[in-house]
Amino acid sequence: MTRAPYVGLHVSSGERRATAADIVASVQREIASGALPAGSRLPPVRALEKQLGLSKNTAQAAYDELVARGLVEAREREGVFVLAAQRVDALAVTTPAPLPRLVPPPLSRPDFMPRGTTNLSTVFIDPELLPTERIAECARSVVRERIPAQYDAQGYRPLREAIAKRLRARGLDVEADEVVVTTGSQQSLDIVARALATPRIALESPVYAYAKLLFESLGHELVGLHLDPFAGIDLGRWDRALATKPSLAYLISSFHNPTGYSYTSAELRGVLDLCRAHGVAILEDDWGSDMLSDGEYRPMLRMLGGKSVLYVNSFTKKLLPSLRVGFVAASPELVPTLVAMKRLSTLGNAWLTEAVVAEFLDRGYYDTHLQALQKALDARYTSCLAQLEDLMPDGVRWTRPGGGPTLWLELPRSIDVPALEQHLARRGVVVSNASAAFVGEAPHLNGFRISYAWLSEAEMRSSLTILADALRTLAR
Ligand SMILES: Cc1ncc(COP(=O)(O)O)c(C=O)c1O
């Protein structure tokens, strides 16, 4: 019978002659490192003794020990073989500590809905309305040029210049040096929140849920600013909340997510006065602007309050979500801290996409795109309102934002929204339960967003028909 060839074995023993323990340790180490896979045949005792100049029986004693530890087996007339890998747990190998317990994932929703479902509550715009061809054109032109090898954490300068120019055209005095480019508004919120020395933030309730969850996860104490989109802002109530001295108020003053509410001019001024009186800084998230007809803009806190209002906006919804480009405009003394926070989080973002957006702005494509987009959104908005009038049962109300991508649909208290959610899901319609959006109070609204920016008029009609049916069924 031919025997399997045996492996060469390196036994380390320093200057001295190897002992049985040295052989055991070396074989153990080689098995653990994978150098001696299961089935490897160890050198015959005599060969090993000869190789290492050992006294009689030393190698045999070592092999006996390895057999006893369950690492090898001696097969009669065949030799000594390494055993299968499961025996490796017999090794005295130190394992690192397991990952400590993780925090529960805060609200994890899929980024993509399953095929065949209609998302009635998304904040995204129908991809049919987005300028993918022109973006591709800009991307091709950018990659034809030399792609910069370096980056700076503040963001691609030509993009910062183009952003500042656009903001100046809207009456905001912003310079390129005051703009920090981010991977969307979410990163802007992240770097601002990380930079605060006093961990307390006031924010509307309900609010954009991922802002609330982000601030919470960074350890901020949250102060809710009660917002009823049907009644407007109760400034007296906000006064009492702001008197708790948060360091920052995070505010979505136009086309608020999730309610669609926009502050009136009196509320903008009232909120600015309150924040000034209580020493509260403002972070304004202007996500829904540029989605209002006739190229009009709503007045905003940054416009009235000046440079000390931190201002956040993003191209992700209006241009192309996958580009993930947004920015924060801050007064010059805050910029170094914000850039430092961004550096900690990502070192810097991808200049390639930033250069594509810069090219898109530079060519004037963004303005042309926004004009077309607003026209399409206006048509969808008008049609959505008409369909709601037509289809919704009595007792259902909705906000009339006049811009932005969504409105709020308010249902009678007797409707259990989670039950409705499940009922609709079975019919392929997804709505998002807004329970995570309320801050420090029980939900005072009972509904969800309706996304007229996402659905075509026909899709809107069929999902609202399903919704109306479901409401009638659940009301019975
Ligand atoms: C109000 C608001 N702010 C910020 C964001 C995050 O936007 P971005 O995609 O630019 O990170 C969203 C996303 O839906 C939002 O609704």
Does 186 contact ligand 1 (Cβ within 6 A)? yes
Confidence of residue 105 (pLDDT cuts 50, 70, 90): confident
Sheet with 41-42: strands ordered across: 41-42, 79-82, 72-75
Strand partners for 79: 75
Does 326 contact ligand 1 (Cβ within 6 A)? yes
Burial class (CB in 10 A: 0-12, 13-18, 19+), 8: exposed
In terms of domains, do 223 and 347 share one? yes
* CA distance linking residue 412 with residue 304, whole number of Å: 37
In terms of domains, do 282 and 398 share one? no
* Ligand 1 center–CA 204 separation, angstroms: 15
Q: From the CA of 314, give the closest atom in ligand 1.
A: 10
Does 405 contact ligand 1 (Cβ within 6 A)? no
Q: At 185, give phi and psi (nearest 5°).
A: -60, -30
> Is 77 part of any domain?
yes
Judge contact between 426 and 443, C-beta under 8 A.
no
Please state, for a pLDDT cut of 90, what percent of the chain lies above it.
76
Q: What is the CATH number of the domain that holds 73?
A: 1.10.10.10
In terms of domains, do 385 and 363 share one? no
> What is the rounded average pLDDT of the residues 255-263?
96
Strand 248-251, strand 72-75: pairing:
unpaired
> Is 104 part of any domain?
no
Per-residue model confidence (pLDDT) at position 294: 66
> Is 105 part of any domain?
no
> Is 432 part of any domain?
yes
Could you give the number of structural domains in the chain?
Answer: 3
Does 313 contact ligand 1 (Cβ within 6 A)? no
> Is 109 part of any domain?
no
* Ligand 1 center–CA 313 separation, angstroms: 8
Interval 212-256: pLDDT, tens: 999 999 999 999 999 999 999 999 999 999 999 999 999 999 999
* Domain final position from 334, 367, 400: 367
Does 252 contact ligand 1 (Cβ within 6 A)? yes
Confidence of residue 111 (pLDDT cuts 50, 70, 90): low
Per-residue model confidence (pLDDT) at position 126: 94
Query: What's the domain range around 261?
Result: 127-367
In terms of domains, do 412 and 332 share one? no
Q: What would the two tokens of residue 347 be?
A: 């070192």
* Ligand 1 center–CA 287 separation, angstroms: 6
In terms of domains, do 316 and 288 share one? yes
* Ligand 1 center–CA 185 separation, angstroms: 5
Task: Decide if pLDDT at 388 tops 60.
Answer: yes
* Ligand 1 center–CA 284 separation, angstroms: 12
In terms of domains, do 339 and 394 share one? no
Q: From the CA of 256, give the closest atom in ligand 1.
A: 1
- Residue 370: which of 401, 402, 403, 326 has the closest Cα? 403
* Ligand 1 center–CA 187 separation, angstroms: 9
> Is 11 part of any domain?
no
* Ligand 1 center–CA 186 separation, angstroms: 6
Rg (CA), the chain: 32
Does 121 contact ligand 1 (Cβ within 6 A)? no
In terms of domains, do 390 and 463 share one? yes
Q: What is the pTM of this model?
A: 0.81
> Is 328 part of any domain?
yes
162 Rama class: left (phi>0) / alpha (psi -120 to 50) / beta: alpha
In terms of domains, do 220 and 235 share one? yes
Task: Decide if pLDDT at 87 tops 70.
Answer: no
> Is 96 part of any domain?
no
Confidence of residue 99 (pLDDT cuts 50, 70, 90): confident
* Ligand 1 center–CA 276 separation, angstroms: 26
Q: From the CA of 317, give the closest atom in ligand 1.
A: 9
Q: From the CA of 123, give the closest atom in ligand 1.
A: 14
Secondary structure of residue 52 in the 3-state scheme: helix
Which residue pairs, CB below 8 angstroms and at least 24 apart, start in 166-169? 166/361, 166/366, 167/311, 167/329
In terms of domains, do 144 and 68 share one? no
* Domain final position from 367, 402, 425: 367
257 Rama class: left (phi>0) / alpha (psi -120 to 50) / beta: beta
In terms of domains, do 337 and 358 share one? yes
In terms of domains, do 353 and 388 share one? no
* Domain final position from 315, 339, 367: 367
